[in-house]
Amino acid sequence: MIDRDGDGLVDKTEMVAYLIRLGEHNDNQQTNRVLEKIDKNKDGKISLEEFWEYSEGQSMMVMIMMMIIIIMVMME
């Protein structure tokens, strides 16, 4: 599960922990760039609405990868 505290949002700490579990965390700069792109209201957290707004502008491959992540999260 990405949202460890159950508040319905994903903050930087939760994102880093999830990326580490996936073996995809390279550095904090990468995480900061992702957060900056998706976190439109700049509260340091990604809401489901922000996630979907971001995903709408992405390529089909990115969309497929995002759906795989969502399915993996639902299965945890």
Token pair for 39 = 């976190």
Identity of the residue numbered 70: I
Domains and CATH numbers, the chain: 9-75 (1.10.238)
pLDDT digits (tens, 9 = 90+) for 32-55: 888 888 899 999 998 888 888 887
Decide which of 8 and 41 is more confident.
41
pLDDT confidence bin for 74, thresholds 50/70/90:
low
Q: What is the pTM assigned to this prediction?
A: 0.63
Backbone CA torsion sign across 39, 25, 70, 4: negative
pLDDT digits (tens, 9 = 90+) for 53-64: 887 777 777 767
